[in-house]
Amino acid sequence: MTRPILARIDTAAFRHNYLVAKRHAGAARAWAVVKANAYGHGLLPCAEAVRDVADGFALLEISEALGLRAAGFTQPILMLEGFFAEDDLRLAAAHDISVVIHSQAQLALLELLELERPLNVGLKFNTGMNRLGFLPQQAPALLARLRASGKVGQITLMTHFANADDTGIAAQLACFEGIAADSGLPCSVANSAALLRFPQAQRDWVRPGIMLYGGSPMPDLNTAAALGLRPVMSLASRIIGVQSLQPGESVGYGSLFRAERPTRVGVVACGYADGYPRHAPSGTPILVNGQRSRTLGRVSMDMLACELTDLAADVGSSVTLWGEGLAADEVASAAGTVSYELFCALAPRVPVVLG
Ligand SMILES: *Cc1c(COP(=O)(O)O)cnc(C)c1O
């Protein structure tokens, strides 16, 4: 018998969420952001689910971009951090993959190489995030160099917001506007939070990521369900042991949970080696047989404990760690993180089923 843990990936929900993003995007086109193996969900199954509706895909790894081309995807594909070395750049050009250019080093390499065909480029500006991108005042010179190189086709101006999920985008958008206004070039600025909150940020291309996976980009303002998003990943397992604790007895490493009353404890086949966050404290929500319960004590490598007192549950009962019936955002919030991190941390040892 195999260990009962399982991640179910609902690709129909991914498609549904992409169509929700498209509705918010209005006339703009939407790159489905599928970096990091589609946020841990599996690149090809997710891409397949939107094959006939996706305007494009955005990711970071050239191998994954080539995987999409090999699987017959003909849409625009954008490398969000561009190329890291000569080989990436040659492959991108050969397979009609668009690249972000955010640094002088990338620009210099582009000028140097002979390419099979012109490359579509996302020219990235730093408007306050201070992560990647050129300074806005460099725009005219950069555009002149790109055009003079003879190696670029379409140029799209890009920036990325630091606070689209809370204080907003006004200052960064105004800064970007200074470059974009009279360039006549297509623009792309919005991640999921900006797409959902700021209609003025839609422009020509939007870049939704987390919302496609049924996570809310601002769970404190809007739950994913309130945004009409459906969970894509459900992490499920079973109770493999039951303990009865007397008052004063504890469970797990460090004895972090101590019973104050007679307590039935369920031991779940899921631990941090499966991707469940070790820092999730006692009280993190969990579903047992569809009933809401809470975790107890410290998460260990292969197991965690949960409250069964007053629940109809026993060895073999089904458990949902997150997904259908329990938003990943809720679990993430209890564990002091975001659903992005839970999804991306799903461990390779967890079997994945589609549907
Ligand atoms: C990851 C990423 C996105 C998607 O962000 P979400 O918050 O997941 O919607 C958009 N743009 C860039 C440049 C990114 O790296």
pLDDT digits (tens, 9 = 90+) for 73-120: 999 999 999 999 999 999 999 999 999 999 999 999 999 999 989 999
CB of 207 shorter than 6 A to ligand 1: yes
* 124: number of Cβ within 10 Å: 24
User: Which DSSP string do the residues of 184-251 spell out, in sequence order?
Assistant: ---EE---HHHHHH-GGG-SSEE---GGGGT--SSTTT--TTTTT----EEEEEEEEEEEEEPTT-EE
**Residues 166 and 37 grouped into a single domain:** yes
**Residues 203 and 259 grouped into a single domain:** no
Helix (H/G/I), strand (E/B), else coil: 30: strand
Closest CA to 98 of 150, 160, 153: 153
State the closest ligand 1 atom to the C-alpha of 80, by its place in the atom list counted from 1: 13
Q: 175 phi and psi, to 5 degrees?
A: -65, -45
Atom 6 of ligand 1: nearest residue by CA position: 209
CB of 80 shorter than 6 A to ligand 1: yes
Give the pLDDT of residue 13: 98
Give the pLDDT of residue 122: 98
State the closest ligand 1 atom to the C-alpha of 158, by its place in the atom list counted from 1: 13
Give CA–CA dist 309/294, Å, rounded.
11
At 1, the pLDDT band (50, 70, 90 cuts) reads low
Count of structural domains, the chain: 2
What mean pLDDT is predicted for residues 197-206? Answer: 95
Statement: residue 144 has pLDDT above 80:
yes
HSE, CB side, 13 Å, CA atoms: give it for residue 245.
25
Residue 2, in any domain of the structure: no
Helix axes 104-112, 86-94, angle to 10 degrees: 60
Give CA–CA dist 262/351, Å, rounded.
35
- Which CATH number fits the domain that encloses residue 111? 3.20.20.10
**Residues 45 and 137 grouped into a single domain:** yes
**Residues 278 and 345 grouped into a single domain:** yes
CB of 209 shorter than 6 A to ligand 1: yes
Residue percentage of the chain with pLDDT more than 70: 100
State the closest ligand 1 atom to the C-alpha of 39, by its place in the atom list counted from 1: 8
**Residues 143 and 262 grouped into a single domain:** no
Closest CA to 257 of 299, 287, 289, 288: 299
**Residues 258 and 342 grouped into a single domain:** yes
CB of 33 shorter than 6 A to ligand 1: yes
- Which CATH number fits the domain that encloses residue 239? 2.40.37.10
Report the helix count and the strand count for the chain, using DSSP H and E: 11, 18
